[in-house]
């Protein structure tokens, strides 16, 4: 094994990645692949805490994998796999559940929020899925985990469980840290620039999907909220324009000041027209590569089969150590 630090990231195949996900995470992850050992897991086990249509779950899982690769995450440099293909995730989750305290899980903010929204679907998986998330991380002895604000509490649980297990049974797991990505990559909604761009809202004009047709992308940018000031300026007083300038800068490589100078004395119309072109051209290689991949399912199968083999080798090594320490007779 290499001496590089290990990064693990998992994504549920329950939605479709947006431009915000691409600029805020995927594009940054591409830069990690030469410096870290990266594991990217399509977290399909996590997805079923909410009822899923099986054929849609299969389709979305494959599409997420294709979008990762299309975004520049190279299968030769990273381990890409489906969580359900490595049984050690579920096995370690059970062991960790047995050292997890009900009170600690009950205090998880996401559980409290979801339990209020989904009383008719208040299943045990919603309560214990942070333990499965801890298993995902600890199986690969991850040094770093890129998580958003909403998942920090779950990473703290993973750290607590690693420390608790190590104290009880001797040193076994690395205690993971948060991977802090570059500042300035937070992309906000096009209709509500006070909130992060997300597909979870009701307004489809608020987000740009990584994979959608170009005309739809252009239309959404032209409808993006601005203000009455009429000046293209990167300013907290103009959150809508500030967000659009961030997107322009991230995709074009132009600095914020260069963009301000370029549109000095011009209205928002010209800026939005140019921005739409920048976004369409910036995403064109990703969208074209995605279509190629989805038309080559055999290649995708080869990638996720090989990824699962590599992930399984590392995961089972950890699991054997855990099973021995808790007192199970070796297989």
The answer to whether residues 50 and 276 touch, using CB atoms and an 8 Å cutoff, is no
Residue 144 forms beta bridges with which residues? 7, 177
Q: E strand or H helix at 177, and its extent?
A: strand 177-178
Beta strands of 37-131 (E only): which ranges?
A: 37-42, 78-82
Q: Identify the CA nearest to 25 among candidates 64, 63, 62.
A: 64
The answer to whether residue 270 is catalytic is no
Q: Where are the beta strands (DSSP E) in 218-325?
A: none
Catalytic residue among 5, 199, 222, 321: 199
What is the C-alpha to C-alpha distance for residues 33 and 294, in angstroms, rounded to an integer?
A: 23
What length does the chain have? Answer: 331
19 touches 283 (CB < 8 A): yes
Catalytic-residue membership of 196:
yes
Query: Residue 65 and residue 214: Cα distance in Å, rounded?
Result: 22
Q: Is 117 exposed, middle or buried (0-12, 13-18, 19+ CB in 10 A)?
A: exposed
Of 12, 27, 114, 174, the catalytic one is 114
Write down the catalytic residue from 12, 174, 196, 250.
196
Q: Which residues of 180-202 are buried (b: 16+ CB within 10 A; e: fewer)?
A: ebeeeeebbbbbbbeebbbbeee
Answer for the pair 275, 247: CB distance below 8 angstroms, yes or no.
Answer: yes
Mind telling me the catalytic residues? 114, 196, 199
């Amino acid at each position: 094994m290499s001496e590089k630090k290990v990064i693990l990231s998992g994504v549920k195949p329950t939605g479709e990645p947006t431009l915000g996900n691409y600029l805020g995470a995927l594009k940054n992850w591409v830069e990690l692949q030469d410096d870290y050992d990266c594991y990217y897991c399509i977290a399909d086990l996590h997805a079923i805490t909410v009822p899923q249509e099986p054929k849609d779950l299969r389709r979305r899982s494959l599409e997420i994998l294709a979008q990762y690769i299309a975004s520049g995450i190279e299968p030769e440099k990273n381990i890409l796999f489906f969580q359900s293909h490595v049984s050690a995730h579920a096995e370690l989750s059970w062991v960790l559940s047995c050292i997890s305290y009900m009170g600690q899980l009950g205090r998880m903010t996401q559980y409290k929020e979801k339990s209020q929204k989904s009383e008719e679907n208040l299943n045990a998986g919603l309560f214990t899925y942070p333990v499965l998330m801890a298993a995902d991380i600890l199986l690969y002895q991850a040094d770093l985990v890129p998580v958003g604000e909403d998942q920090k509490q779950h990473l703290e649980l993973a750290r607590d469980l690693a420390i608790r297990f190590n104290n009880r049974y001797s040193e076994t797991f690395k205690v993971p840290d948060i991977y802090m990505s570059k500042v300035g990559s937070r992309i906000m909604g096009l209709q509500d620039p006070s909130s992060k761009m997300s597909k979870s809202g009701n307004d489809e004009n608020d987000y740009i999907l990584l994979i959608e047709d170009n005309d739809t992308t252009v239309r959404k940018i032209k409808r993006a909220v601005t203000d009455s000031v009429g000046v293209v300026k990167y300013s907290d007083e103009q959150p809508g324009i500030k967000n659009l300038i961030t997107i322009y800068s991230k995709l074009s490589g132009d600095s914020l000041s260069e963009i301000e100078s370029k549109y000095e004395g011009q209205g928002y119309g010209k800026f939005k027209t140019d921005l739409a072109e920048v976004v369409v051209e910036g995403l064109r290689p990703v969208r074209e590569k995605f279509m190629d991949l989805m038309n080559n399912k055999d290649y995708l199968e080869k990638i996720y089969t090989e990824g699962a083999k590599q992930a399984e080798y590392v995961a089972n090594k950890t699991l054997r150590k855990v099973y021995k320490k808790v007192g199970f007779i070796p297989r």
